[in-house]
Amino acid sequence: MFKNERRAHSDTAFHEDEVKLARRMMDKLRTTVEFLYYLMDHRGKMSFAMIMLSTDDLKLGHLLQKWKRQTDVLIEIDNVNNVYVIICQSTDKEGGKKFAEILMSNISMHGGTASYCVEAELTSTHHTIQEVIFSMVEQYIYIKQEQKYNQVFFTKFQEKVKNELSDVTYHNSF
């Protein structure tokens, strides 16, 4: 799927398939993450983990459906390239990491090779859905290019410091 045509990690050009993956992620995840953000804002403190994964030589859809909990949401991102996201409600970073490790182990035991996994924990709605999804896709693309398979990579979102004047283009001080 992803060709290693870029000269360096700092190159800003992305292969067409990588850009299309980001678009599919936005198309397929936006509404679900919006709903979870709504719950976070209106139901109090909660967190969720998102796990993006793929593997070669094994169709994941049916297996992931069996391995997930009832409260986890499984979303097929790309059937051709075997890319899925599992959203784990009421799950922190450690729980998401442990589940991702279990998934990677199960995938390996069932014959999956070159498995790629990115996990993120969301504890607030301070980051836009676009930032969350694009950050995960960017890290996924990077680990695929670097062939860093059979590991779980964590995407960290720094808490933003709210600056009330950051969106102000003109401020009259009178």
For residue range 134-144, list pLDDT tens digits in order.
999 999 999 99
Cα–Cα distance, 16 to 20 (Å, whole number): 6
Assign 12 a pLDDT band (cuts: 50, 70, 90): low
State pTM to two decimals. Answer: 0.83
Would you state the pLDDT for residue 153? 95
Assign 156 a pLDDT band (cuts: 50, 70, 90): confident
For residue range 53-70, list pLDDT tens digits in order.
999 989 999 999 999 999
Domains and CATH numbers, the chain: 16-155 (3.30.70.270)
CA 112 vs CA 105, 135, 160: distances in Å: 9, 25, 38
Q: How far is CA 173 from the centre of its chain?
A: 43
Question: At CA 50, angle to CA 109 and CA 40, rounded to 5?
Answer: 150
Cα–Cα distance, 160 to 142 (Å, whole number): 24
Mean pLDDT rounded to a whole number for the chain: 86
Contacts of 55 (CB under 8 A, 6+ apart): 82, 107, 112, 113, 114, 115, 116
Assign 94 a pLDDT band (cuts: 50, 70, 90): very high
Q: What are phi and psi of 46, to 5 degrees?
A: -155, 160
Query: Which of helix, strand or coil describes residue 54?
Result: strand
Assign 170 a pLDDT band (cuts: 50, 70, 90): very low
Radius of gyration of the chain from Cα atoms?
Answer: 18
